[in-house]
Amino acid sequence: MASLLIPTLLLCYSSLSRCSESKEYPLDVFAPQEVKFHSLDYRNVLHWKQHANSTNDQQYFVQWKVYGEKQWTNAKECHGISRLLCDLSKETSDPREWYYARVHAAHSGTQSPWVLSARFNPKWETSVSPPTMKLHVTEKGIVVRLKPPRSPHRRPNGSWISVRRLQRMSFTIHLMQSDVDEETFEMEGCVKQLLISDLSPGTTYCLTAESRLHLLDRRSTRSPRACITTLRARI
């Protein structure tokens, strides 16, 4: 009887050991990877990557807080989501503050550890888009009208707040003929239009524009090229 009992006990112990190992399996094997903010025109979006060992049916939960505070706040629009990003523009709208965010994954009743982002400040870390450009030709030359990129934030009356209102910016306009840069013009962000004169009559010019944030001297890519032909000289 004792000889039969020992193998049975060993089998039970082995089974319990395997169960114990399963319960102690590291939860970070499906934790989110590379949690970081990406900001463009003050649209502050938290991104992360799915762990290589995770499944496609897991859910993600996001929290955020202001630097120095102890309490974390749930991101209501990012509770139990399957996508790998969370727009926190509204939650991180104060450019004077520094923020943290964190995310964890859940699957089959099991949760991964929280994974923390680096400290983030929208004013110092946002990138900028090129301005929207409109061209008009007159007898004096080409009139360039620029519209600065807008942020995701609105005024109490519902109108959009441009990036120019959130920090100092300027624009660079590139004038080209036959795909060769001929001249560049600088515009302060508060100036809405520029007249380019002394151009050859009946000639097609192409222009692009880029935005510049003076803080840290960040520049956007160039806007799509727009072309216009100057008026012919009167005979």
Q: What is the pLDDT of residues 130-167, one digit of tens each?
A: 999 999 999 999 999 999 999 999 999 999 999 999 99
Parallel/antiparallel/unpaired status of strands 193-196 and 141-147:
antiparallel
Higher pLDDT, 110 or 47: 47
Confidence of residue 7 (pLDDT cuts 50, 70, 90): very low
Confidence of residue 114 (pLDDT cuts 50, 70, 90): very high
Report the distance separating Cα 92 and Cα 75, nearest Å: 11
Mean pLDDT on 167-190: 90
Write down the pLDDT at residue 36: 98
Token pair for 48: 């992360």
Pairing of the two strands 99-107 and 115-116 = antiparallel
Q: Is the pLDDT of residue 87 over 50?
A: yes
Mean pLDDT estimate for the chain: 87
Residue 18 pLDDT more than 90? no
Identify which of 21, 72, 77, 30 has the alpha carbon closest to the alpha carbon of residue 49. Answer: 30
pLDDT of residue 21: 35
- Which candidate, 226, 217, 148, places its Cα nearest to that of 189? 148
Q: Provide the percentage of residues in the chain whose pLDDT is more than 90.
A: 76
Q: pTM of the prediction?
A: 0.82
Torsion angle defined by CA atoms of residues 127, 130, 131 and 132, in that order, rounded to the nearest 10 degrees: -130
pLDDT surpasses 70 at 27: no
**Is 58's pLDDT higher than 60?**
yes
32-52 pLDDT, tens digit each: 999 999 999 999 999 999 988
Residue with tokens 């923390």: 116
Token pair, residue 51, equals 């762990």
| CA atoms of 19 and 150, how far apart (whole Å) | 55
- The structure tokens listed for 58 are 């897991």
Q: Are strands 132-138 and 180-188 parallel, antiparallel or unpaired?
A: unpaired
Residue 77 has pLDDT above 70, yes or no: yes
Say what the pLDDT of residue 235 is: 64
Cβ-Cβ contacts under 8 Å for 23 (sequence gap 6 or more): none
Burial of 175 (0-12, 13-18, 19+ CB in 10 A): middle
